[in-house]
Amino acid sequence: MVALFLMFCLGLFDLAAGTLTDAGIQTALLRVLCAIATAAVWLPLYQQGSRRLPINALAVSVFSLLLTLRLAAADSGTRSYGFAETAGLLMVVYVVARRGQPRWSIGAILALGMAVGFLPLRGGLGYYSVIIGLIQGLAATAVIGAGVYLRTIESNRRRAMDSVRAEQRAEFARDLHDFIAHHVTGIVVQAQGARYIAEQDPQRAIEALERIESAGAETMASMRRMVGVLRDPDAEPDAPLAPLAGVDELKPLLEQFTAAGGALARLHVEGDTSGLPVEVSTSAYRVVMEALTNIRRHARGARVADVWIRRTPEWLLVRVANDGEASGPPREAPGYGLVGLQERVRAVGGRITAGPGIDGGWVVDAALPLDRATAW
């Protein structure tokens, strides 16, 4: 909005200057029209790698160059060659360098650089116009550098986030493999036992079949909830297996955290945590583990880290809080742990927040649905 207001003010100046010189109001209106055309190019929101953006930019740069040729041939002698248009062209240069499709952007940027550099020639071919043109060319180069720099930062961050998401998908695959292997093995053993006792004790065989049915239903339910994150064809298919850790393993985790020195970790459990869906239990464990890692890395002076696990009829609620002085990860080494947690929690239909506590410290809250129907 600031850039748009600046262009508006420069456009008014161009109109006023055009009426006070031999250039005339018609020429001034053409310059303002070209400035409006540049605004129509850089104002919309474009997706990264947009092809339409550099094509539109190429069109407006050609229009500006043609207008420059016409006014330079007329030799109007005015120094108000189009300040609003200059600002607009520089904005177009920045947006193209930042968002445009690389193949088309090269030609568009070259044309835009020529349009910006030749713009002062509308006031004549004198020494003054050449110097101003060189200065504007350098300004366009600086704008291109800024756009490419920010584009590179965004690209690196996107690749890092994609890597985190891929790691989360691989982690889901490992958890799902271990969970299914455990239950399928139990189903096979119970089925074998039921076959041998079917004739001798039919009642025990019925009980074994009920357990088999229950284990099979639980396995299928977890597979349906977790398989969505494994549909990416780029996910690693041969991820190494790892032990399945859930809510029941939180106590040893907190004991290890305390034994390592620093804050005292305390576990508070409300409700029965047995029989939790595997993806909920493992996600709760990951939330606590990442929160404890961040406490050790970023919570200066933390003495206590409290972990609350509360089960309601529909949700498993997880909270990790500490009493230290919160400090975010250093700017030169941004962390992606929270990004990975958000990906994992969203995959099971949950929600997670992190921020300063009311009475100080840092608080991480996660709500994980026990039934997919209650998910956010």
Q: Does residue 240 carry a pLDDT above 50?
A: no
What confidence tens digit (pLDDT) does each residue in 23-67 have? 556 666 777 788 888 888 888 888 888 889 999 999 999 988 988
Q: How far apart are CA 85 and CA 39, in angstroms?
A: 9
Count CB neighbours of 43 within 10 A. 13
Report pLDDT for 371: 77
> What are the phi and psi torsion angles at 340 (to 5°)?
-65, -40
What confidence tens digit (pLDDT) does each residue in 131-146 have? 888 998 899 999 999 9
Q: What percent of the chain has pLDDT over 70?
A: 70
More confident residue, 264 or 203: 264
More confident residue, 225 or 117: 117
What pTM was estimated for this model as a whole? 0.51
What confidence tens digit (pLDDT) does each residue in 309-334 have? 999 989 999 999 988 875 554 443 44
More confident residue, 306 or 119: 306
Report pLDDT for 239: 40
Report pLDDT for 54: 92
- Crossing angle of the two packed helices 83-99 and 24-42, in degrees rounded to 10: 20
> What are the phi and psi torsion angles at 360 (to 5°)?
100, 180
